[in-house]
Amino acid sequence: MSSKLESPWLIVSGGFHERGGMDKANFFLAQHLLDRGTPVHLVGHFIDARLVNHPLATIHRIARPLHSYALGAPLLAHSAQIVYRALRRTHPNVRAVANGGNCQLADVNWVHCVHRAWRPRNGEGPGWFQLKRRFTHARACRSEIRAFRRAHLIITNSNTTKHEVERGLGHTNGLIHTVYLGSDVGVTAPTPEEKLRARIDWGISPGRKVAVFVGALGFDGNKGFDTLFKIWRSLCSGPDWDVDLLVAGAGRALADWRAKVHTAGLGDRIRCLGFCDKIPSLLTAADVLISPVRYEAYGLNVQEAICRGVPALTSARAGIAERYPGELKSMLFENPENVPGCMERIRLWRSQPEYWAEKFLRFGSSLRQRDWNIMAAELVAIIEQHCPLTAQSGVVARPAVRDTAIAAMKPSH
């Protein structure tokens, strides 16, 4: 821990916890700063108790009206602006990190998703939901482009994301950097005994291969489960296909997908688990993870599977695909809309599962070398390098922010 109290940081995120996605990345950034003795203000909806109880953390918890993210987003952005302006009055050299379009801050933007890079599919879900989705997506696109243009420094989670940001901005100003996400400390491939126990726990029959899909089952089709369902229906029509599918993920379309699985007579070949808080155990039991996403800025679920020694087939357009070594490029779906092409890649894996398991085991070992603390330290180093304090005044050299707040938000625990 630092010998002196540092200037505070402000981080704005929907959540700070370890349950996955960008919330997990923000959790470890906050934890890294606190561990080194930096005071941190956290503005979010869900904040892990370990951060809440830290003596250097100031919590600004924002409610979600009607438990709605769409209604909570403007409150999160407005509250973060108020906190930021209040901090600037008392700490002119405060550093602030927003995530995408969640807040318009003239400081650092850590981009985990580019809404302009994908469009929700039309014709899926009830009419009212389609209208809401179009509205929220359009709002997110406008918010993020304004946030990108306002930010002094942009950090992306992959070069794929970086290119999408540059395309949206229309130019490169040299202030966009890529920092890959980290991995969990202590994760290894399971032993044969651990794998056997996990398979028994999940009720997997001896001799059967198991594929898993981890992702939200929404009406937007972004995670590509509709493609995977078509693939599995076709594969299971042949007598030689001995791989069953476990689907971990909740969402508005979960009930519909369970009904489709039943109607197709695939209840014994596809198990829709719904929300699952035992993903590590599920991956321990799995032989392969399949993720035919239409858009994925990174793909943390894929990385976590590989770190546990599980072969993972995903879309070539996913951010993590750029980290696949040449010998594993054949495990990428060039076009997730091309069902026969995707089936060919899955059959390629099934033809030599032990061979691909060994290849992915080596890949996972390299990914595990970069844990969350290494990621956070790299992120902080880049921010401190490109947002330096002036030698005389101690004020951060960055654009001024118009102060239009009428009151400072009080922290709440």
For the record, the structure tokens of 142 come out as: 């406008």
R_g over Cα of the chain:
22
- pLDDT of residue 410 exceeding 80: no
**How far is residue 16's CA from residue 7's CA, in Å, rounded to a whole number?**
21
Buried/exposed code over 321-350 (b: 16+ C-beta within 10 A; e: otherwise): bebbeeebeebbbeebeebeebbebbeebb
For the record, the structure tokens of 316 come out as: 């070539």
**How far is residue 410's CA from residue 397's CA, in Å, rounded to a whole number?**
27
Residue 75: per-residue pLDDT: 95
What's the pLDDT band for 221 if we cut at 50, 70, 90? confident
Q: Is the dihedral of CA 253, 258, 263, 267 positive or negative?
A: positive
| pLDDT (mean) for 60-86 | 92
Residue 71: per-residue pLDDT: 87
Residue 21: per-residue pLDDT: 85
Go through the chain and tell me how many residues it has: 413
Residue 353: per-residue pLDDT: 97
For the record, the structure tokens of 66 come out as: 């009607």
**How far is residue 209's CA from residue 350's CA, in Å, rounded to a whole number?**
9
Angle between helices 127-150 and 69-90 (to 10 degrees): 20
Q: What is the pLDDT of residues 368-392, one digit of tens each?
A: 999 999 999 999 999 999 876 533 3
Residue 392: per-residue pLDDT: 33
Mean pLDDT over the full length of the chain? 89
Provide the pairing of β-strand 176-178 with 209-214: unpaired
Three-state DSSP class for residue 151 = coil
**How far is residue 20's CA from residue 278's CA, in Å, rounded to a whole number?**
12
Report the CATH architecture of 9-182+370-386. Answer: 3-Layer(aba) Sandwich (3.40)
**How far is residue 59's CA from residue 410's CA, in Å, rounded to a whole number?**
9
Single-letter amino acid, residue 315: S
Angle between helices 339-351 and 353-368 (to 10 degrees): 90
Q: What is the pLDDT of residues 396-406, one digit of tens each?
A: 444 333 222 22
228, 290 in Cβ contact below 8 A? yes
Q: What is the pLDDT of residues 278-305, one digit of tens each?
A: 999 999 999 999 999 999 999 999 999 9
What's the pLDDT band for 172 if we cut at 50, 70, 90? low
Q: What is the pLDDT of residues 86-137, one digit of tens each?
A: 999 999 999 999 999 999 988 999 999 999 888 776 656 677 777 877 888 8
In the chain, ranges of CATH 3.40.50.2000 domains: 9-182+370-386, 192-368
| pLDDT (mean) for 38-48 | 97
- Comparing CA positions, the residue from 379, 399, 385 lying closest to residue 11 is 379
The burial class, CB within 10 Å (0-12 / 13-18 / 19+), for 301 is: buried
Q: What is the pLDDT of residues 330-369, one digit of tens each?
A: 999 999 999 999 999 999 999 999 999 999 999 999 999 9
- pLDDT of residue 171 exceeding 70: no
Three-point CA angle 277, 279, 281, nearest 5°: 110
Question: In which residue are the tokens 């349950």 written?
Answer: 19
Residue 124: per-residue pLDDT: 66
For the record, the structure tokens of 37 come out as: 């003795």
Residue 37: per-residue pLDDT: 96
- pLDDT of residue 189 exceeding 60: yes
**pTM of the full structure:** 0.88
Range among 70-74, 142-146, 159-163 with highest mean pLDDT value? 159-163
For the record, the structure tokens of 295 come out as: 């858009």
**How far is residue 155's CA from residue 178's CA, in Å, rounded to a whole number?**
6
Residue 11, H or E segment = strand 9-12
Residue 131: per-residue pLDDT: 81
- Comparing CA positions, the residue from 22, 110, 25 lying closest to residue 374 is 25
- pLDDT of residue 267 exceeding 90: yes
- pLDDT of residue 70 exceeding 90: no
Phi, psi of 3 (to 5 degrees): -80, -20
| pLDDT (mean) for 176-185 | 96
Class of domain 192-368: alpha beta
Residue 93, H or E segment = none
Tell me the sheet residues that pair with 216. none
CB atoms within 10 A of CB 413: 10
Residue 346: per-residue pLDDT: 98
| pLDDT (mean) for 203-211 | 93
- pLDDT of residue 162 exceeding 90: yes
| pLDDT (mean) for 317-331 | 97
Q: Which range has the worst mean pLDDT, 128-137, 178-187, 224-233?
A: 128-137
| pLDDT (mean) for 323-330 | 97
Q: Is the dihedral of CA 95, 99, 103, 105 positive or negative?
A: positive
Residue 125: per-residue pLDDT: 66
